Chain A
Amino acid sequence: MKISVQKYDPSVDEAPYVKEFEVEYRQNMTLLEALVAINDEQEPIVFDYSCRGRTCGRCAMALNGQPCLACVTLVSENGANEVTALPGFPIVRDLIVDKSMMNDRIANIMARQRAFPLTLDEINAPVDPVIYNKMDPLEHCARCGVCVSACPTVQLMGQKEYIGPAGMLAIGLRYYDPYDQGDRVVEAVQNGLWNCIQCSTCDEVCKALEIDHQVIWKDLRAAAEARGLVKKA
């Protein structure tokens, strides 16, 4: 099987370049397996991974231009396998990108806003099951950045104008969260809620299969509209 891998050491190289490798194919071979095989048996290629099961988000990169998680993406025995760093993020080395800006923004959003600590009675009280069923799947977001990389709005406007699906999902999680007391609707609009074109690319690339991004966007938009927080033409 042929596979080409983007290499780049910004401390010395002028620009990223591509190197071709031949790897012995096996059934159900993941991109991560192919990369480990090259790095083990041929020459160093720099990449990161941890969980091997789409939950840590560390192996986000692109195969044939498509952002993906290497651990749950299959390579093609006879087709093209062109591996590049996750598009839209600064490259640190080969297939490692710097996601700290995205991660820091999400962490800041995710910190719950609340005036007083929760008591055991409050935690044990029933919650609206509709809210629970909407909020719960969002816990599985791995913050891998695949959706942000694939998002056409982010590509067009940048992460400042639209935080990207992962960040907006974090806002959505705290918007649903019955214990959170922050104004998450303002936060959503501030972070580009109305710039999202609702194209569903995030839903297509996300491997946390229980997440339906469009439901979140609709709920946030309805809440923003109810408060008159709509974008002026």
Chain B
Amino acid sequence: MRGEFGDSSAQNGISRRAFLEGGAIAASMAALAGAGLVSLSGCSQEQEQQGTPEAPAVDAASAPSYEVYNADICIIGGGLAGMAAAIKAVDEGKSVIIVEKSNHGFGGAMGYNWDQFINFVRDDLPWQESTDFVLNELTNQKIEKGSYEHWMGEDRNLMVRYENMGYGLLDRNRETGEIAPLLDFPTIYGIYRGFSRHQADYITSLGIRILDQTLASDVIVQDGVCGGVMGVHVPTGTFRVVRAKATICCTGASAWLFGWDTVAPRSINSPDNTGDIDAACFRHGVPLEGSEFIQCDLINIEPKGISCSFQGGIGADSGCCEYICDKDGNYFFQGMDYATLNKMDFTRIIAKNIAEGHGTENGGVYVDFSTPEAFAKIGETYIRNIQLWKEVFGIDVEGMKLECGLEAYERSGNPITDGELMVEGIAGLFHTRGGGFSGAQGGSSVNVAPRNGSYAVANAVKYIEGLTLPALDEAVVTAEFTRLFSLFGNSGGKRPQQVRRMIQKACYQALQPMRMTDQIDAGIAELERIRKEEMPNMTLGDTSLVYNTDWKCAIENINLLDLAEAAAKAAKFREETRGHMYRVDFPEKDDANWLCNVRNFYNDGAITCEKADVVTV
């Protein structure tokens, strides 16, 4: 079974398989006692209140125990970047451990079993002449060049790569069985029917060690060098330490902070997408870059239960432009050359319309499917949901005006890295979405993430050559252990879920694509209030160590709040309109002042912004 210990007889030395280094390790308890960690009982709250104490699972009177794993390379996040990273590490003969928050294969966006559009740059044009998916005026060119040139020639072909990982048949003509790409040009190729869970199966078949259901909460940093990652195994509440010579962060976007409806933010992101390691780097003093940028799609916002999820939802893209109208029935795209609209322009035009007061009740627009011509334009991804809506909700989309909103499917705001994706100031820690990499696009993509994962590991392999990891500083482990377990000690405050909703709503106010300065200010003020008033006594409603989702939520909230405040302040700082967002009081793109990136700095809990030049080659 995945997530179990390895062969405990393989105690030392570097084997191809990662192994369990040791069992319980004593650590200083002074810090724990000081943190007011009195009794972390395995008994339920009710029993505690009834005065029937159980043997405490963790107690100030006994040493904290934790598991230690060891590998050459530790990968945080088992999605598309993480899996490509793991495969590269195995190819290079390195031992590797993947730490994944959910069940392996079911986490994050990768764990949605959705029809991914596989597209890739086909040619070996020089990087700056290519039509790469992230290249724009604010992209970090050193990273882009390095990553782009990492896969040349046949390596570029994601179709061959994925088919050899067991992907099924990619899109075919249903009458002839001929392969049916949507894009088939000399420079670019794109085809539907990529189901990435096959890749998770492939990873399983390689026997790669996966520590799943494990929330990675911090990286181990000693004297500016990263020696792995720490976190909690959620089903058991066990503290875990993974020691590694190189650590690769592959944790995706962090758009779970982007508002809240009834089951999700206004985002397609997964509850796993809380940017834990981004926030950890930020607290370690690494600036974040690109926090103000998001990438949006247009997707249904009613029925609320499936809103902003194109898995079950129905939306529209620029192919549907002429059928999009505002609340007054004004088809505001008509007359534009929408055949050439890119996604950023598409989103921004809608945001402008909503910001100017033409939005629907829920802050969206309508996609008018009332004619057969309009309905015929419905996107490939949504077709399978038409029947679902009829069956579950009794709603027939054909012929109706569908209310849709702008959801953030991607966002950036990542720690800055050098051109080889190594995090600035933390040697041995690599990040597959280095700050500024996506520029004004506001995110990576399913097609660039794997390349960056592989590129990061290629660089990590060079870095660890001849490297010896220093002895583990137990004070580092104890500090993180204490930080996490002391969350059990609070009382009298709001539950983490309540605090989470406040963070999400305040963040949305500031970060929504319709950027209004009074809303941004209100969002920032609320986030600062939450930090001051709600966080110090955020109180768990559950004291069990077994699958404690209150605890998990509380740990993630600390991260989400840091990222939300950084994003809100960066949104305020950028006084222009660019990318997917429309700033009402600065409605024009202002290259004279803003052809630059924005960096967030974190000093003693204060988050500030500064301009940073675009990194050029």
Q: Report which A residues bind B (CB closer than 8 A).
A: 9-13, 26, 28-30, 32-33, 36-37, 39-40, 43-44, 46-58, 71-74, 92-94, 96, 99-101, 103-104, 106-108, 110-112, 117-120, 123-124, 126-129, 131-133, 135-136, 138-143, 173, 177-179, 207, 209-210
A49:B271 contact, CB within 8 angstroms:
yes
In the assembled complex, the Cα of A207 lies from the Cα of B113 at a distance in Å of 13
Closest to B195 in A: A139
Q: Report which B residues bind A (CB closer than 8 A).
A: 1-3, 42-44, 47, 54, 102-103, 105-108, 111-115, 157, 159-160, 163-164, 166, 168-170, 172-179, 193, 195, 197-198, 200-202, 204-205, 235, 262-264, 270-272, 302-313, 384-385, 387-388, 391-393, 495, 497-498, 501, 541-542, 544-550
Residues of A within 8 A of B160 (CB): 118-120, 123
A92:B235 contact, CB within 8 angstroms:
yes
Closest to B159 in A: A123
Residues of B within 8 A of A57 (CB): 106, 113
Residues of A within 8 A of B1 (CB): 100-101, 104
Residues of A within 8 A of B202 (CB): 111
- What are 21 A-B contacts with C-beta separation under 8 Å? A12-B47, A26-B304, A32-B305, A39-B497, A44-B550, A52-B264, A52-B306, A52-B311, A56-B111, A56-B270, A58-B111, A96-B235, A103-B103, A107-B205, A108-B201, A111-B166, A120-B157, A123-B160, A135-B168, A179-B163, A207-B388
- Count of A-B contacts with CB under 8 A? 225
B177:A129 contact, CB within 8 angstroms:
yes
Nearest-Cβ distance from residue A124 to partner chain B, whole angstroms: 5
In the assembled complex, the Cα of A39 lies from the Cα of B309 at a distance in Å of 21
B177:A50 contact, CB within 8 angstroms:
no
Q: Which of A72, A94, A123, A210 contacts B306 (CB 8 A)?
A: A72
- Other than the given A74-B392, A127-B169, 5 more pairs (CB < 8 A) read A32-B305, A33-B305, A50-B102, A111-B166, A139-B193
In the assembled complex, the Cα of A103 lies from the Cα of B497 at a distance in Å of 30
Residues of B within 8 A of A140 (CB): 113, 384
In the assembled complex, the Cα of A29 lies from the Cα of B303 at a distance in Å of 8
Nearest-Cβ distance from residue A70 to partner chain B, whole angstroms: 9
- Per DSSP, are chain A's interface residues mostly helix, strand or loop, or mixed? loop
Nearest-Cβ distance from residue B497 to partner chain A, whole angstroms: 5
Interface centre among B263, B264, B388 (most CB of A within 10 A): B263
Closest to B261 in A: A33
Nearest-Cβ distance from residue B407 to partner chain A, whole angstroms: 11
Nearest-Cβ distance from residue A95 to partner chain B, whole angstroms: 10
In the assembled complex, the Cα of A180 lies from the Cα of B332 at a distance in Å of 50
In the assembled complex, the Cα of A121 lies from the Cα of B578 at a distance in Å of 43
In the assembled complex, the Cα of A77 lies from the Cα of B159 at a distance in Å of 48
Nearest-Cβ distance from residue B315 to partner chain A, whole angstroms: 12
Residues of B within 8 A of A50 (CB): 102, 106-108, 111-112, 270-272
